[in-house]
Amino acid sequence: MGFFLGLVKFVKVILLIAICLLFLRAILFPNALDIIILMMLSFVLFLMLISRP
């Protein structure tokens, strides 16, 4: 069970890094697709944070 909890934490960190990089890209080069992907990733992260075991 500890392995899976560690894996979930690792995925959360990777998702946060992806959101930060995409946010920086959206600031520098505004694009509708970047904003849509950023919203979807943020929604997935929000769902992962509220579904904590």
Would you state the pLDDT for residue 51?
Answer: 80
What token pair was written down for 2? Answer: 């500890």
**Burial state string for 6-30 with b = 16 or more CB within 10 A and e = fewer than 16:** eeeeeeeeebeeebeebeeebeeee
CB 26 within 8 A of CB 35: yes
Res 48: pLDDT: 84
Domain that holds residue 20: 2-50
Q: How many domains does the chain have?
A: 1
Note the pLDDT tens digit of each residue in 1-53.
789 889 988 988 999 899 899 888 888 988 888 888 889 988 988 888 888 75
Q: What pLDDT does residue 17 have? A: 92
